[in-house]
């Protein structure tokens, strides 16, 4: 886009006491999905598909953390 507007940084709001950001990765295909993991039940809620490291870093910034745990 030549004259497009710049996208704002998206933020993901969640309760840190009840949920934590996590990345679910497939062992077979390497596909990664960013989401929130419920601390009590262990239920994973998918939020977005992550294609590369830039997407992973953007997801971590949106959640307000430096590093996101990866679960397989």
38-52 b/e (C-beta count within 10 Å ≥ 16 → b): eeeeeebeebeebee
Question: pTM of the full predicted structure?
Answer: 0.82
Kindly report, residue by residue over 5-40, the tens digit of the pLDDT.
666 678 899 999 999 999 999 999 989 999 999 999
What mean pLDDT comes out for the span 52-60? 95
**Sign of the CA dihedral with 67 first, then 43, 34, and 1 last:** negative
The reported pLDDT for the residue numbered 10 is 80
CB atoms under 10 Å from CB of 59, counted, come to 22
């Amino acid at each position: 886009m030549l004259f497009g507007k710049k996208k704002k940084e998206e933020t993901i709001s969640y309760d840190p006491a009840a949920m934590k950001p996590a990345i679910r990765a497939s062992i077979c295909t390497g596909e990664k999905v960013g989401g929130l993991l419920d601390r009590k039940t262990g239920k994973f809620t998918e939020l977005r598909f992550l294609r590369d490291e830039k997407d992973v870093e953007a997801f971590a910034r949106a959640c307000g953390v430096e590093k996101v745990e990866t679960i397989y």
